[in-house]
Structure formats: C-alpha cells, structure tokens
Structure 1
Amino acid sequence: MSRLWTLGRHQWFVLLVGLAAGGLSFYWWWDSRTEVYTDNAYVVGNITPISSYVTGQVVALFVDDNMIVQPGDPIAQINPVEFQIAVDQALADYQQAGHAADAADVTTHYTTDDRKSMLVAAQATRAEAEQAVQAATVAVQTHGRLHEKEVEVLGALKAQMPGLVARQRNALFYYERFKSLAKSGDVPGQEFDNRETAYSEAIAKVESLQSDIKGAERQVLASELQLQEARVRLEQSRKALANTDATVGRAEAEQMQLTVAADTALGLRNQQALAEAKLRQAKLDLSNTLIRAPRAGVISRRTIQVGKTVEAHSPFLSIVPLDFDNVWIIANMREKQMPNVRVGQAVKITVDAISKQTFDGWVESVAGGSGSVFSLFPPDNATGNFVRVVQRLPVRIRFGLKENFENRIRPGMSTRITIDTAHYVRNSPHEW
C-alpha cells in the first residue's frame, strides 16, 4: 500500500486510464446483455386517403396542404345542384308511387268486398234454385201419383159400366115383358110397377155412373195438366239451377281478381319501396357533396383545386394522423438481437427531428415474419448458391405518451430505439 503513494504522476495516469477502460468495458458488456439498440427504426402511421363518394365539380375548398383538421371538418364542396335535382325527382317518383299504391289498396279493398258479395249472392241464389228443383221434383212426384190414382179411379168406374148396362138391358127386357103381360092381365099390376121401378133404377145408375166417369175424366185431364205444369216447372227450375251454377262459377273465377288486385297492390308497394330507396340514395349523394374529414390529422398530398372535377372513389388527398392510437414505430431488429426481446418491455426512443428529447415506449408486438418474406420477390435459398444473410424482424413499438409531443412526431421520421430487456412496463399474454 505504501508503494502506491510512491508512484509517479505518469504511473497514476496510466492506472486511472486502465481502471476507466475496464469500467467502460464492464458497462458495455453488461449493457449489451440487457439492452438492445438499433437506428433502423421509423415512425409509421395509419394514413387515410380521402376520396369522394360522388363525381362532380369542386366549387369550394376548405383545406390546404399541412393544415391540421379535426373529425367532421369540411374539406371540399362538390356542386350540389344536380344532386338536389335528383333528390327532387326521386321525391316526386316516391310520392307518385305512394299515391298509386294507395289507390291500388283502395281498389283491392272494394274489389274484395264486391267479389265476395257476388260469390255469396250467387251461392245463395244457387241454394234457392236447388231448393226450387227439389220442390218441383216433389211436386212432379205428387202430381204423378195423383194422376195415377185418378186414372185408376176412372178405370174402375169404366169397369163398372158393362155390368150396369147389362142390368139396364135386363131391366128393360123384364119391363117390356111385364108391360105386355100387365096389359093382358097375366100378371098383377104391382109386378109391372116393380119391374118399371127396377128399370128406372138401372137407368139412373147407368146415368150416374156415366156422370161419375165424366167427372173422373175431367179429374184425370186436370191432374194430367197439373202434372205437365209440374214437369215444366221442374225443367225451368233445373235450367235456373244450371244458370246459377254458371253464375257461381263466374263468381268463383272472379275471386282470382282478388289475387290479381292484391299482387298489383303488392307490386306497387314494392315500387314505392324502390322509389324510397332511390330517394334515400339521392339524399345520401346530396349529403356526400360536402366532403368532411373522417379523422384528425394533417392534410397532405392535396391534388384537387376549385373547378376541378373529381371522380368518385379516386383519392385526392391524405390525412396523416398525429394521435398515438394511429402512430407507432417499426424497428427492424437483427435476428441476433431478438433472443431476449419480449412484448411489454420498456423502450427508450429518440427521434432524429427532436434529438434533445427522449421518449418512453414499450414493445407492442413482433411481426409474423422477416421483411424479406413479404417483399415482392421473396428469397428462395433452395436455388443457386446459398449466401447466409442476417435477417431483420419488424418490431412494433408504441409511445408511452398520451398525446403527440407538440404534434411533431409524424410518420416517416427516423428514430433510434433502445429496448431494456430487463424492464417490463406492460403485461401481455404473448411473449411476441
């Protein structure tokens, strides 16, 4: 120990330099074990291209390059005149379709009532005609039986006539015989009177039977006429029933008009719905003539001017977001730097454009593959001579700030990042 105090100034300097070099070497060794650094890191963001939903001429422009806009701020106004005309035409078509549909509904309602009433009336008439046919059939049967009985009665009366006529002749024979015998006094006058009375009674019976026969003939004729009339009425009722069947058939066929009317009304309602959809589309197109910013950010790469016609769905400017929900860093790490890198580890960030400021961040995720596999022509190491090339994995890093530092951190900027693999600031179920 006493010898250290006897060292010269030069020897002390050499000793201090050696100690410093050793300390730096230890720090570098320890730092290389816990920290990973790269300057191949750039700010990336969700850049939003802005286009118009409709084609038209720009009549007003409200933004310029590098302006900061907020959600809903107007960007440009397309000439709305022709779109307003389209709205008016669509409105007129919609109203006309509505009136036509209403009229069709009324027609359907009255047609339904009318056709149903016709069918009910026709069915009632047919029921009456059926009853009339049944009544006429019964009448024919009744008059037929009556006529048969009348004919039977007439036949029975006529069958009695020969016997009565024979009795009349027999009574006449005895009357004339006893008359001559009475004149000669061979028989008493009382016997003659009896024969005369018998003869008169025979004549009376024949005349009475003849009268009954004539009456029966009149009854037969009358019943025959009634039977013919009943048959005529039956035929007429059958024809009437046939006519009512035809009427019912027509009424049933006209029920199809209800379906036609309902289908017509439905078609007109569909046309009204189509006209309403066209009206909504026309109103939407009119509202889309005023183009608004969908998000906050910086206007960039504006290509439109007042008076220029923009095409639908053709981008004419971009909005570059500045909020840290849409801005992050992609650090392309070498493979050999990745063994200890995990999601949630703390990161120190330096932006070249803000070199005096250091920002905190954290590892959010690691890409699914190296950058080369997503290139236009990915390498195929199975062909040609093999050359081993160290690959880089894109690592997404989020800023720890809630708001963009003075809105100065913007996509495309170069950064330098240092990942502290020994320090975690976020918890994650995934290591990568």
Structure 2
Amino acid sequence: MNAPQDNTVAPKPAKSGPPVPLLIVGAILLIGGIGLGGRMWWRAQHLVETENAFVAGRLHPVATRVAGVVTEMRMQDNAVVKAGDVLLRLDPSDAAVQIERLKAQIAQADAAIATTAAQIAQSKAQAAVTNSQVAQAESVLARTELDAKRSQALFGAELRATSKQELDAALAARDVARADLTARKAGASAAKEAIAAAESARQSANAQKSATQALLKDAQNQLGYVELRASSDGRVGKRTVEVGQRVQAGQQLAAIVEPEVWITANFKETQLAKMKPGQKVHVKVDAFPGKELEAHVDSFAPASGASFALLPPDNATGNFTKIVQRVPVKVVFEPESLKSLGEAATRIVPGLSVQVEVEISE
C-alpha cells in the first residue's frame, strides 16, 4: 500500500527590499540636505558675510619734539592715561643754557642799538654845525665876489681908483671863499653820510635783536617740550624707552590706543550691491568664541583696498587677469552690545580677527 502523498504547496519566498533602518537614514539625510540647502539659499538672499575683517582703532605715536636724556618716566605698559597727563620728562639743562645765551645776545643787541642812537644824535649835531658853516661860507663868498667885481671895475676905469695890489687881494679873498665853501659842503655831505651809516647800523642791530628774540622764543618752546604729555585718552602700548636713555627728536617711544574701536570689513565688490549704511550686522570675535555682538554698517571706503596699496595695480599692460576687488567697509559696534561684555569689552582691541554678517533683506 502506497504511502499518502503530501499535496501541500510550499510558500513562495517574499520579495527582498531595502531594510527599514536604511530608509529612515536616507529620509533623514534627504530632509537634512533640503534643510541645509534651504538655509544656504535663505542666507544668500538675506545675508552677506566675510571673514576678511579685523578690529580697528586710533593709535597715536608718542614722540618727543626735542632730543635729550630721559630723567623721569611716568607712563607704564598698558596703563590708562588721560589727555594732558605727563608721560615723561627730559633733562632741561641744555635748553636752559641756550635761553641764557640768547638773553645775553639780546642784551648785547640793546647796547648796540643804544650806541648807534648816540652816534646818530652826534652825527645830526655835526650836520647842523656844518650846515651853518656852509651858510656862513656862502655869505662870505657872496661878499668877496662883490668886492672882487668892484675892484675889477675900479681898476679898469680911466682914473685907476684902486691899485693892482688891492685888486689881487680881492680876487684872492674870493678864491679863498670859494674853496672854503667847497670844503664846508664836503663836510656837510660827510655828516649826512655819517647819519645814514648810523641809521643803517641801528637797523642792523634791531634786525639782529629780532632774530635773537625769535631764537629765544624757540628755545623757550624747546624748554617746554622737555615735558611730554599724552595727546589723547587711551592706553599705553609698545613702550620702548627707559630712564637714562637719550632720545632723538621725532623718535617714537610708545603708542596711545584710544578706547573707541570699530571693524574694518573687506567685502568683495560683488557683495556690495544691496549693502547700505545703517544695516544691522552680526559680529563674532575670535577672541570670544560663542559670543555674538551687534553692530551696524557705518560707511564705505572711497576706493578699493588695492587702490591704497603702496604699488597700485597697473592694468594698462598686454596681459590682464581679472581679480575680484575688495572694498573696506566700516562697521561700528552698538554701545549696548559692548556693555553686555562688561569688563571684557576692554579686550576688544585693534588687530583682532572677526567674522561679520550683514542683513541685507529689506
């Protein structure tokens, strides 16, 4: 007897498909990609950003106007100073000696002026005497000429009313009077020249005195320059001078950094189309990770950064490669945002690197 046959049909295996976890991961990645793409699109439409930015401020060089030896030092590294505070003093001895020397020269000039004034007075008196002598000589000459003419007339008459000896005496007296008048006039001319020379000497002495007085004023200014004062409020930095060191005029000894700071952000020229003053700016300072500060666009530079370079580019050549230019933009911190940092705000100093994002949406 045959065994019963089993007619049961074996079930077909189910079709294989991607595992459910893989689908979930793919969906997450797709959603993340869409979200990232959407965020990037939104930022491109509403923000412009750059990492080519840094904190800027005003740095005032500290330099003396005169040479000298430092005798007193009051400024300390990184110390806060106020405008007008004494930073250091130089030895005033050289300037004081120069002032005394110039005062002595002015006294000498005053003495020379007094001497020339006396010479002028004397020459004028002499000129008055010679002028009176000239007048007297002219009178004598007039009389002797009349006598000579009269003697000539009497000697030439038929009666010979005068002798040849008397005629010769009259003519001689006339010639003597003429010579005396010439001498007197020469003396008067010499007296006038003496007056002119004395006047010239006085003018020269006055000019010398004026020049010496100008030098004295400059020396007094130099004496005032031995005390170096702060030109503005700020903090002292880069001090390179010590007591006893001899410094030269114009030599930079330190720098004063003002407390006011701002940001210079170098944006590409293609990013400027929608930017304008007053727009809100988000700032991240590398020195304060995780902190975001608020600021606003203040102004745009009048030229690109390359235009202010020591050697500006010259494109008038045969070969030209177009390079995207960057334009410096001044960004100013909001005061309230800096106050939120408290004392740490003083550590935002010129030179720090920052990242800026400008909201360009209307």
**TM-score, with normalisation over the residues of structure 1?**
0.66
Indicate the residue corresponding to 2:93 in structure 1: 81
**Which residue of 1 is the match for residue 294 of structure 2?**
359
Q: CA deviation at 1:376?
A: 5.6
State the 1:141 CA deviation.
Answer: 4.4
Query: Is structure 2 residue 90 aligned with structure 1 residue 72?
Result: no
CA contact (8 A) 1:347 1:417 kept: no
CA distance in 1, matches of 2:149, 2:321: 118
Q: 1:233 to 1:422 in 2, by over 3 A?
A: farther
Give the 3-state SS of the residue equivalent to 1:242 in structure 2.
helix
- Provide closer, same or farther for how the CA distance between residues 398 and 241 of structure 1 changes in structure 2, counting only shifts above 3 A: farther
Equivalent position of 2:279 in the other structure = 346
Q: Which residue of 2 aligns with 1:36?
A: 48
Which of these residues, 117, 126, 145, is aligned with residue 128 of structure 2?
A: 117
SS in 1 for 2:107: helix
Give the number of the structure whose residues are more often helix, by fraction: 1
Alignment counterpart, residue 224 of structure 1, candidates 142, 147, 162:
162
CA distance 1:403–1:91, change in 2 (3 Å): farther
Q: 1:404 to 1:312 in 2, by over 3 A?
A: farther
Task: Note if contact 2:300-2:327 (Cα within 8 Å) is conserved in structure 1.
Answer: no
Among candidates 45, 48, 57, match of residue 57 of structure 2? 45
List aligned pairs for 1:283-302, cutoff 5 A: 283-302=220-239
- Aligned 8 A contact 1:68 1:298 in 2: yes
> Which amino acid is 2:61 matched to?
P
- Structure-1 separation of matches of 2:307 and 2:191: 77
**Shift of residue 57 of structure 1?**
1.5
| 1:374 equivalent in structure 2 | 309
1:5-404 paired onto structure 2 within 5 Å: 29-111=41-123, 113-144=124-155, 147-148=157-158, 151=159, 223-225=161-163, 228-323=165-260, 327-342=261-276, 344-350=277-283, 352=285, 353=287, 356=291, 358-371=293-306, 374=309, 378=313, 389-399=323-333, 401=335
| Alpha-carbon distance between aligned partners in 2 of 1:351 and 1:119, rounded to the nearest angstrom | 97
| Letter matched to residue 337 of structure 1 | Q
Q: Whole-Å Cα distance in 2 between the matches of residues 291 and 102 of structure 1?
A: 41
How has the CA–CA distance of structure 1 residues 123 and 299 changed in structure 2, closer, same or farther, with 3 Å as cutoff?
same
- Paired AA for residue 95 in structure 2: F
User: What is the letter of the counterpart of residue 125 of structure 1?
Assistant: Q
Task: Quote how far apart the aligned CAs of 1:349 are.
Answer: 4.7
Return the offset for 1:109.
Answer: 3.7
Could you state the TM-score of these two structures normalised by the residue count of structure 2? 0.77
The alignment partner of 1:237 has SS state of helix
CA distance, structure 2, for counterparts of residue 77 and residue 287 of structure 1? 10
Change (3 A) 1:119 1:368: farther
Runs of 5+ consecutive residues of structure 2 not aligned to the other structure: 1-23, 340-344
Report which stretch shifted further, 102-111 or 353-362. Answer: 353-362
Deviates more, 1:395-404 or 1:41-50: 395-404
The answer for unaligned runs of 5 or more in structure 1 is: 1-10, 152-219, 424-432
2:353 corresponds to: 414
Distance 1:254 1:284, change over 3 A: same
Deviation, 1:28, is 5.2
Instruction: Judge conservation of contact 1:345–1:422 (CA < 8 Å) in 2.
Output: no
- Aligned mates of 2:314, 2:177 — CA distance in 1: 98
**Secondary structure, aligned partner of 2:358:** strand
Return the alpha-carbon distance in structure 2 between the equivalents of residues 402 and 77 of structure 1. Answer: 40
Map of 2:15 onto structure 1: none
CA contact (8 A) 2:155 2:167 kept: no
Give the whole-Å Cα distance in 2 for the aligned partners of 1:402 and 1:131.
107
Superposed CA offset, 1:237-258 (max 9, x none): 3212222112202321332222
Question: Does structure 1 conserve the Cα–Cα contact (< 8 Å) formed by 2:304 and 2:325?
Answer: no
**CA distance change for structure 1 residues 356 and 304 in 2, over 3 Å: closer, same or farther?**
same
Range that drifts further, 314-323 or 71-80: 314-323
The alignment partner of 1:269 has SS state of helix
What percentage of residue pairs aligned between the two structures are identical? 23
Q: Could you tell me whether the CA contact under 8 Å between 1:362 and 1:399 is conserved in 2?
A: no
Aligned residue type for 1:77: R
Give the direction of change, closer, same or farther, for the CA distance of 1:400–1:262 in structure 2 (3 Å limit). Answer: farther
AA aligned to 1:374 is A
3-state secondary structure, aligned to 1:224: coil
- Give the drift of 1:298: 1.2
Alpha-carbon offset, residue 64 of structure 1: 0.8
Instruction: Quickly say closer, same or farther: Cα 1:58–1:402, change in 2 above 3 A.
Output: farther
Cα–Cα, structure 1 residues 373 and 365, in superposed 2: closer, same or farther, change >3 Å? closer
How many Å separate the matches in 1 of 2:44 and 2:203?
79
Q: Would you say the 8 A contact 2:59–2:258 is kept in 1?
A: yes
Aligned AA for 2:358? I
Q: CA deviation at 1:143?
A: 2.7
- What is the RMSD of the two structures over their aligned residues, measured on CA atoms? 3.5
